[in-house]
């Protein structure tokens, strides 16, 4: 059940006009295979009410609506039907919705103090009674609880609250019953002043029949008001003649109070504003201020007192209780400027020293240093802090003015040891693998490998086994990182490989019957190449031998200073002596007069480097030259000229001048 309604029994609820309500009823069949459907006629009873069904077995119907105005109560029918075949099952439930009225209690009751009064409450079922929020306990002053008709007794005017058993909806579920005690009175009292014997009192009876008498014990006066009283306690007896109630009341006239002004302690304050600390006694207090000083409220003992400048000022607090009752007190205030200092929020250093700047000024600067930190003032606000060891430290600067005004600045400093890295020595190695190692004095160490180097394994102590893709020189770097500090060391690994001979060439020199050998040297250590078996020299990586006689068998061995291995080249080359003068064309040369005719070589000459080709103009043929008319200096051709006579036959000749003058 939710909303303003409440369950009365398994098939009945109660609700007030205007209450919104929702309640659920579930139907189920013992046969879980059956489907249960639900219908109702609630809208006939409560217009606008609706039913929502969820589930099939069990099926739950939720009914919600609002109790309309003028509703007097009634019932509606719920029908649940299953789908059993051929005989369906049905169940019917009539639900009563009754109208509930607000809780009602009796009217206010006027009685004498201590007199019993009968209370009652209705419309809420069984009612629980409370007084000022507390549940009343049964006893001589309250007969029963919870109940509908208790008997109560009280010496003072009180309000009893009866709360019904049903929840509160649109109509209240509680009621209040007030018991008024006759002769309940108030007294308007004026205390005695500093002038003396001027106190007064006026009695006002609040509850009763209205027919009262009064009698004062000290002088028998029957007046409800008296004046000219000195400080003291006065007793008056009041009677309610109609109800027969009697009450004795005491009235205290306070004595005249002389103010005791207290302006508060003399203080030094930070800044130009101060919350006053005067302690008020009686009367009206007022601040008297020196020139330039202002107050947020001259009559406020805790006023904000503001000075125009730093310095010492005297203020007066005066209290006036009236009728000449005045007292005053002085307070001395010293306004001190508030220091303002600052440090960088945080800083980090490599090593044991860091320099920071303290901004701002103060009469006194002090430092709170943790263990292991020392400080040197370098002047101009610059301070050098030194740490005994690596770590994080919190350092605080304290600036003080006037011994009371304090400002602090804190900085977080982190010091890291500068690492020193030592890598294993440079190495020249045969093969393509190596072991390297490194140590660091601080931080974490990592290796950086160049292209062509692959780490095969790395141990926990920074040792590493590496493999090179090919022979060559590689630089490996060991780097230590400690916070923001880094350091590194390098190790150079030379994998020269085995010297190799590539692109060998055997070439005839073209001079005499000689040949030369050349090749390119690769891998190994170029700086220490050594060639055995033949003389020669390197031009860069190319070796050129000295000339060798034709068909000389050579065995050339290439090594280096690393001694990882060698390479051998063997071979020879036949180089013939190149001495062939060629053949002059056999054509007859004819010429007219001094005309020129050219004799040419039918077969070219083949010469080596120290041969000279000559042509001869001579008279004979065959193997003999006959008379040589001329050895022309022009080697490529013989030109007919003045040596030739008409109808004379001459033959050009080529010859090869061999070394040592041989033809």
pLDDT score, position 630: 65
Chain segment 386-438, per-residue pLDDT in tens: 999 999 999 999 999 988 999 999 999 999 999 999 999 999 888 899 999 99
Measured distance CA(523)–CA(471) in Å, rounded: 7
Residue 43 parent element (H or E): helix 42-45
pLDDT score, position 466: 94
What is the rounded average pLDDT of the residues 182-193? 92
Q: Is the distance from CB of 237 to CB of 215 less than 8 angstroms?
A: yes
Using alpha carbons, select from 1, 6, 27, 31 the residue that is nearest to residue 16. Answer: 6
Locate 396 and state its tokens.
């605080």
**Which has more pLDDT, 595 or 75?**
75
C-alpha pair distances (Å), 444 with each of 158, 441, 455, 465, 603 = 82, 9, 18, 19, 83
Model confidence at 610, pLDDT cuts 50, 70, 90, reads: low
Q: Is the distance from CB of 331 to CB of 263 less than 8 angstroms?
A: yes
Task: Pick the range with the lowest mean pLDDT from 7-21, 178-192, 484-498.
Answer: 7-21
pLDDT score, position 599: 66
pLDDT score, position 598: 67
Model confidence at 638, pLDDT cuts 50, 70, 90, reads: very low
Chain segment 485-509, per-residue pLDDT in tens: 999 999 999 888 899 999 999 999 8
Model confidence at 171, pLDDT cuts 50, 70, 90, reads: confident
- Supply the mean pLDDT for the chain: 88
Decide if pLDDT at 649 tops 60. no
Model confidence at 589, pLDDT cuts 50, 70, 90, reads: low
Decide if pLDDT at 616 tops 80. no
pLDDT score, position 608: 66
Measured distance CA(123)–CA(104) in Å, rounded: 7
Measured distance CA(51)–CA(62) in Å, rounded: 6
What is the rounded average pLDDT of the residues 12-29? 88
First to last CA, the chain: 144
Give the predicted TM-score (pTM) of the model. 0.42
Helix, strand and coil percent figures for the chain, each rounded to 5: 0, 50, 45
């Amino acid at each position: 059940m939710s909303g303003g309604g409440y369950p009365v029994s398994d098939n009945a609820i109660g609700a007030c006009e205007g209450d919104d309500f929702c309640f659920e009823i579930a139907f189920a069949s013992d046969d879980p295979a059956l489907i249960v459907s639900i219908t109702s006629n609630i809208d006939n009873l409560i217009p606008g009410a609706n039913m929502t069904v969820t589930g099939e077995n069990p099926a739950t119907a939720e009914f919600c609506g609002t109790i309309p105005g003028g509703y007097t109560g009634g019932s509606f029918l719920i029908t649940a039907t299953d789908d059993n075949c051929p005989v369906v099952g049905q169940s019917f439930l009539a639900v009563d919705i009754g109208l509930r009225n607000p809780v009602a209690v009796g009217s206010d009751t006027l009685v004498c103090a201590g007199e019993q009064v009968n209370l009652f409450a209705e419309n809420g079922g069984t009612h629980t009674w409370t007084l000022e929020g507390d549940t009343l306990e049964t006893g001589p002053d309250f007969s029963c609880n919870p109940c509908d008709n208790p008997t109560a007794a009280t010496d003072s005017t009180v309000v009893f609250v009866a709360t019904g058993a049903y929840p509160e909806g649109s109509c209240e579920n509680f009621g209040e019953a007030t018991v008024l005690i006759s002769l309940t009175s108030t007294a308007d009292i004026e205390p005695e002043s500093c002038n003396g014997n001027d106190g007064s009192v006026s009695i006002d009876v609040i509850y009763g029949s209205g027919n009262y008498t009064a009698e004062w014990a000290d002088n028998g006066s029957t007046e409800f008001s008296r004046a000219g009283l000195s400080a003291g306690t006065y007793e008056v007896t009041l009677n309610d003649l109609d109800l027969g109630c009697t009450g004795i009341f005491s009235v205290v006239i306070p004595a005249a109070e002389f103010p005791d002004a207290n302006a508060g302690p003399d203080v030094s304050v930070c800044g130009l504003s101060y919350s006053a600390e005067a302690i008020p006694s009686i009367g009206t207090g007022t601040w008297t201020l020196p020139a330039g000083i202002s107050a947020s409220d001259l009559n406020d003992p805790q006023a904000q007192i503001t000075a125009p400048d730093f310095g010492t000022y005297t203020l007066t607090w005066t209290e006036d209780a009236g009728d000449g009752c005045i007292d005053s007190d002085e307070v001395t205030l010293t306004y001190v400027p508030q220091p303002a200092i600052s440090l960088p929020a945080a800083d980090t250093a490599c090593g044991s020293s860091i320099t920071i700047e303290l901004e701002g000024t103060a009469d006194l600067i002090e430092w709170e240093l943790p263990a292991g930190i020392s400080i040197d003032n370098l002047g101009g606000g610059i301070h050098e802090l030194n740490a005994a060891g690596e770590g994080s430290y919190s350092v605080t600067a304290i600036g003080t003015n006037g011994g009371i005004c304090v400002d602090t600045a804190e900085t977080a400093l982190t010091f890291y040891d500068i690492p020193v890295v030592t890598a294993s020595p440079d190495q020249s190695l045969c093969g393509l693998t190596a072991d390297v190692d490194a140590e660091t004095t601080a931080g974490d160490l990592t290796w950086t490998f160049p292209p062509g180097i692959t780490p095969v394994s790395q141990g926990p102590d920074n040792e590493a086994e590496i493999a090179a893709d090919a022979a060559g020189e590689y630089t490996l770097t060991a780097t230590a990182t400690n916070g923001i500090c880094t350091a590194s060391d390098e190790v150079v690994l030379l994998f020269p490989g085995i010297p190799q001979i590539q692109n060998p060439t055997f070439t005839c020199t073209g001079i005499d019957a000689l040949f030369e050998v050349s090749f390119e040297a690769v891998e190994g250590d170029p700086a220490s190449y050594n060639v055995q078996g033949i003389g020669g020299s390197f031009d860069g990586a190319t070796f050129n031998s000295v000339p060798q006689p034709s068909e000389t068998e050579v065995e050339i061995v290439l090594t280096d200073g690393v001694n990882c291995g060698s390479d051998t080249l063997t071979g020879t080359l036949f180089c013939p002596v190149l001495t062939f003068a060629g053949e002059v064309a056999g054509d007859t040369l004819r010429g007219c007069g001094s005309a020129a005719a050219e004799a040419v070589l039918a077969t070219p000459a083949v010469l080596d480097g120290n041969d000279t080709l000559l042509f001869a103009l001579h008279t004979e043929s065959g193997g003999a030259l006959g008379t040589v008319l001329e050895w022309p200096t022009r080697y490529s051709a013989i030109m007919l000229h003045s040596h030739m006579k008409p109808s004379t036959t001459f033959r050009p000749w080529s010859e090869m001048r061999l070394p040592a003058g041989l033809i």
